[in-house]
């Protein structure tokens, strides 16, 4: 574990648990205590590593009996998840976020490696080399939403 930061370690721990089950329910304070860190560190990991773009749905309940529920989802088998993903993309998306989505689709065996690489080439920063970053991110979003709609309605 040398060279790993605490966020990487927490992420690996949660993903190991998720490998055995489709969904986990955790208490932020318990995980923070386990890793001897502040609870906000757990929030950071969940908010940055367990996103819809990465193929996870996170639900939480605050308060004394509160919890955080993390579920690994198949992006294509659940139309609601795809709709959520398209909502997250919205009118613009960065190349980093777009890569995460394509990576998740590949990991879920929705895309072959060749298909994923072709899409990545089409939405790459060098391909969409617009002077205005906003235009680049908007075009990338349109391409991704079009691809997701095609996957959603294509049997």
pLDDT of 30-74, one tens digit each? Answer: 999 999 999 889 999 999 999 887 888 898 887 766 789 998 876
Q: Where does residue 85 fall: left (phi above 0), alpha (psi -120 to 50 degrees), or beta otherwise?
A: alpha
The CATH architecture of the domain made up of 79-153 is Orthogonal Bundle (1.10)
Q: Are 58 and 18 in contact (CB under 8 A)?
A: no
Q: Which of 14, 151, 139 is nearest to 75 (CA)?
A: 151
**pLDDT tens track for 103-119:** 988 988 888 999 999 99
CATH topology agreement for domains 6-72 and 79-153 = no
Q: What's the burial of 148, exposed, middle or buried (CB within 10 Å: 0-12/13-18/19+)?
A: buried
Q: Where are the domains of the chain?
A: 6-72, 79-153
Domain at 6-72, CATH from 3.20.20.70, 3.30.56.130, 3.40.50.150, 3.40.50.300: 3.30.56.130
């Amino acid at each position: 574990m040398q060279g790993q930061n605490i966020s990487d370690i927490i992420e690996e721990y949660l993903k190991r648990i998720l490998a055995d089950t489709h969904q986990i329910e955790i208490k932020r304070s318990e995980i923070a205590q386990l890793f001897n860190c502040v609870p906000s560190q757990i929030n950071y990991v969940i908010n940055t590593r367990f996103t819809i773009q990465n193929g996870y749905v996170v639900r939480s309940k605050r308060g004394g009996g509160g919890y955080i529920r993390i579920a690994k989802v198949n992006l294509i088998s659940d139309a609601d998840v795809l709709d959520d993903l398209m909502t997250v993309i919205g009118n613009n998306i960065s190349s980093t976020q777009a890569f995460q989505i394509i990576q998740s689709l590949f990991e879920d065996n929705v895309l072959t490696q060749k298909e994923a690489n072709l899409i990545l080439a089409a939405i790459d920063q060098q391909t969409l080399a617009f002077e205005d970053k906003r235009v680049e991110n908007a075009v990338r979003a349109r391409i991704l939403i079009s691809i997701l709609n095609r996957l959603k309605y294509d049997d």
